[in-house]
Amino acid sequence: MSEFSETICGISTPIGRGALSIIRVSGKDAISIVGKIFTPFEKLKKAKGDSIIHGWLQSSLKKKNLDEVLLFVFKSPSSYTGEDMVEISTHGGTYIPKKVLQLLVDNGARIAEKGEFTRRRFLNGKMSLLEAEALLDVIEAKTEKSLLIAEENLKGKLHKQIEKVKKDFLEIKTLIEADLDFGESDILSFDTRELIRKIKNLKVKLKNISNSYKRGKILVDGFRLAIIGKPNVGKSSLFNTILKEDRAIVTEIPGTTRDLLEGTVDIQGYPVILHDMAGIRPSGSKVEKIGIDRALNMARNSDGILFVIDASEKIDKADKEIFKIISKKPFILVANKSDLKKKIKKIPFTGEVIWVSAKKHSGIDKLNKVIIKMIEETIPDYTEESITCTTERQKEKITNAIDSLSGGLEIIKEGKDLELLAFEIDEAINSLKELTGEITSEDILDKIFSNFCIGK
């Protein structure tokens, strides 16, 4: 358990109009510092851990009552941070929370840095680095499915799986080191084929976790869906209709949208990030050309595409050129303006056509079902029981462990010194320790915890 010299404080709720505000105080002097501005102090002084106390905060000016509050008192090590901790529940607004924070600083506390409460929780051994990242995913969850993955990892699902793999590594390491320490001949005391089998099994387990990053990124960050087509086929109208809000300007003038617009929508638990963009066509306008270049770049980097055509116009050369651009990506062909007289006789493109009218809001339910099908085909192995990694850092550390195993297999295959094999196994174990936070650096911690707010 680490002991920090400074007591920290921070506002944990948004500042502004609201019923309540929570100010957190954590550290060895948390109770005494709060006691300097709280009455009746005797209640706080006698408080046991996990207790709630009613009273008043007093301003330093003539000890006038500032606000009626509840104090939630936690004693080390049974608190969020593992330290003595007080959470002050005040009335909301702007003035009172800021004034309380200033009084705490005046009496010896320091304003917390971003994520410092959770950082202390991690450093005090109350959560792994994987669980800290999962907590951030919980806070930023966009949909039920993204929340489910985050909650499971916060409860230690991924961490427990990594610990099982690490235990298998340690067994292999023990086997090798026993032979290094006590082997008296060139004959190995273990079956090489069995060792290879164990290492290959570990590679499969780690690759399965590493491969889960794609679905983790999609389910946590969102499935990026680019809406692409000629000008004036109704892309912005479709964008607004799916989002159920007026985000994009819609006119009958071709080329109205020149920059990228983004909106997130929950489609049956899947977070979908829609991108509305400039219509694709030859253009002499410098501004429109920039918009088209951005649109094409976004299409290339998207997870999927809604290719929109105009059902009230014939398929032309421009439609065909766009199809050539997007045909190698997963796409859904959307025939918009189906409420008008159809001029399309035959569609020369592969795939099912979804007929919609963004103006009349028809066909959107069918389109949403096809979008879900596209997402599920992109992440075919996903079930609610799946082990999932969600950050690039996690994937990198797991990949490093896999690379070390590959190196170990080459050493066995080439009959090299066992000490080299032991080194590769150590490297794999250290990669997993970096993954869970047993081995880490200040730079990595700064990068992770700076994504939290000050009060978390």
Residues in the chain: 456
Which of 251-260, 312-321, 426-435 has the least mean pLDDT? 251-260
Single out the residue in 95, 127, 159 at which a domain terminates. Answer: 127
Indicate the pairing of strand 65-74 with strand 223-229: unpaired
Contact assessment for residue 121 and residue 115, using Cβ atoms and an 8 Å cutoff: no
Q: What is the pLDDT of residue 253?
A: 43
The verdict on 299 and 273 lying in the same domain is yes
Q: Which residues, 6 or more positions from 56, have their beta carbon under 8 angstroms from its beta carbon?
A: 38, 39, 65, 66, 67, 68, 69
What's the domain range around 423?
135-218+391-436
Kindly report the pTM of this predicted structure: 0.84
Single out the residue in 346, 378, 410 at which a domain terminates. Answer: 378
Single out the residue in 77, 98, 127 at which a domain terminates. Answer: 127
- Nearest CA to 300 out of 261, 266, 326, 334 is that of 326
Q: What is the pLDDT of residue 22?
A: 96
Which residues, in sequence order, are bridge partners of residue 355?
Answer: 335
pLDDT tens digits, one per residue of 33-79 = 999 999 998 888 888 888 999 999 998 766 788 999 999 999 999 99
Contact assessment for residue 343 and residue 313, using Cβ atoms and an 8 Å cutoff: yes
The verdict on 170 and 308 lying in the same domain is no
The verdict on 48 and 18 lying in the same domain is yes
- Nearest CA to 93 out of 73, 67, 114 is that of 67
DSSP structure string for 61-118: STT-EEEEEEEEEE-TTSSSSSS-EEEEEEEEESHHHHHHHHHHHHTT-EEPPTTHHH
The verdict on 231 and 332 lying in the same domain is yes
What's the whole-number average pLDDT of the chain?
Answer: 87
The verdict on 179 and 211 lying in the same domain is yes
Q: How many domains does the chain have?
A: 3
